[in-house]
């Protein structure tokens, strides 16, 4: 079987069969991308969090959660390629799997790295043209969206009790910046609110994931930030890299 060597986004050399025929995806947004590429007959396993598309969620074998993979079940499926992500999956699971199967890893902290990931997975799966057209569409949609944030500051919450927010060096921060907002949190990654200096952002975004914020949380955060406008936001357009990025600008327009 002809094989090719690819360098993944973690700088690792991954030897992959030409046109993989049995792919397992360990990340929901990348599962959705593989569906966008038309790989219905190629993807054989997904996680329990890979809810899109619905027919895949109902029909594909689920191999655990992103951080609690069923390793024996994965190997039993005899994949010829596994697609994962540095942040979503654990190092221990990936170290084990790559001893048996080619594992290609994404590492996405910026909008540009997400676009690169689409291109690279397109190369991996021989869907380069679809990837190119998708990236062109994403670039155009965000360009037309423009600076809708208008330099307003925002504190983006991903968890409650304890409260955690999105900081710098994250994909969500990069998306916020891309559409014109200023992240009020200047610490890196996902710090606790208690670790921040007192701030008064223009907006508080309460995300629908990973913690499912609801309207019932508004009062608590309005008391913490009385001068801020509180918005409940859909976390998927902000955090799902891949084909979802094509639809995200339409949501951002409605949100603003």
pLDDT at 1 over 80: no
Q: Can you give the pLDDT at residue 162?
A: 96
Q: What φ, ψ does residue 4 adopt, rounded to 5°? A: -130, 155
Which secondary-structure segment (H or E) carries 154?
Answer: strand 153-159
Distant-in-sequence, close-in-space partners of 195: CB < 8 Å, separation ≥ 6: 187
pLDDT digits (tens, 9 = 90+) for 25-37: 999 999 999 999 9
Helices (H), the chain: 28-36, 54-59, 71-76, 91-97, 111-124, 128-145, 171-178, 218-224, 235-239, 248-255
Domains of the chain: residue spans and CATH: 3-141 (3.40.50.1980), 153-255 (3.40.50.1980)
pLDDT at 13 over 70: yes
pLDDT digits (tens, 9 = 90+) for 82-127: 999 999 999 999 999 999 999 999 999 999 999 999 999 999 999 9
pLDDT digits (tens, 9 = 90+) for 16-68: 988 899 999 999 999 999 999 999 999 999 999 999 999 999 999 999 999 99
């Amino acid at each position: 079987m002809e094989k090719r060597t690819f360098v993944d986004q973690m700088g690792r050399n991954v030897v992959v069969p030409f046109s993989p025929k049995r792919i397992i995806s360990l990340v929901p947004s990348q599962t959705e991308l593989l569906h966008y590429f038309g790989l219905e007959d190629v993807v054989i396993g997904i996680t329990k969090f890979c809810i899109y598309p619905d027919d895949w969620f109902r029909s594909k074998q689920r191999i655990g959660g992103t951080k609690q993979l069923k390793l024996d079940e994965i190997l039993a499926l005899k994949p010829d390629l596994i697609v994962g992500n540095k942040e979503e999956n654990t190092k221990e699971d990936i170290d084990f799997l790559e001893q048996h199967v080619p594992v290609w890893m994404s590492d996405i902290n910026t909008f540009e790295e997400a676009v690169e990931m689409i291109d690279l997975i397109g190369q991996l799966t021989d869907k380069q043209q679809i990837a190119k057209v998708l990236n062109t569409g994403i670039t155009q949609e965000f360009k037309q969206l423009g600076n809708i944030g208008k330099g307003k500051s925002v504190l983006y919450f991903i968890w409650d009790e304890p409260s955690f927010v999105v900081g710098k060096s994250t994909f969500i921060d990069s998306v916020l910046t891309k559409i014109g907002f200023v992240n009020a949190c200047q610490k890196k990654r996902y710090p606790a609110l208690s670790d921040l200096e007192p701030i008064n952002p223009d907006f508080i975004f309460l995300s629908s994931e990973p913690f499912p914020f609801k309207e019932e949380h508004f009062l608590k955060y309005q008391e913490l930030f009385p001068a801020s406008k509180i918005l409940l936001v859909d976390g998927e357009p902000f955090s799902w890299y891949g084909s979802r990025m094509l639809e995200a600008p339409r949501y951002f327009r409605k949100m603003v």
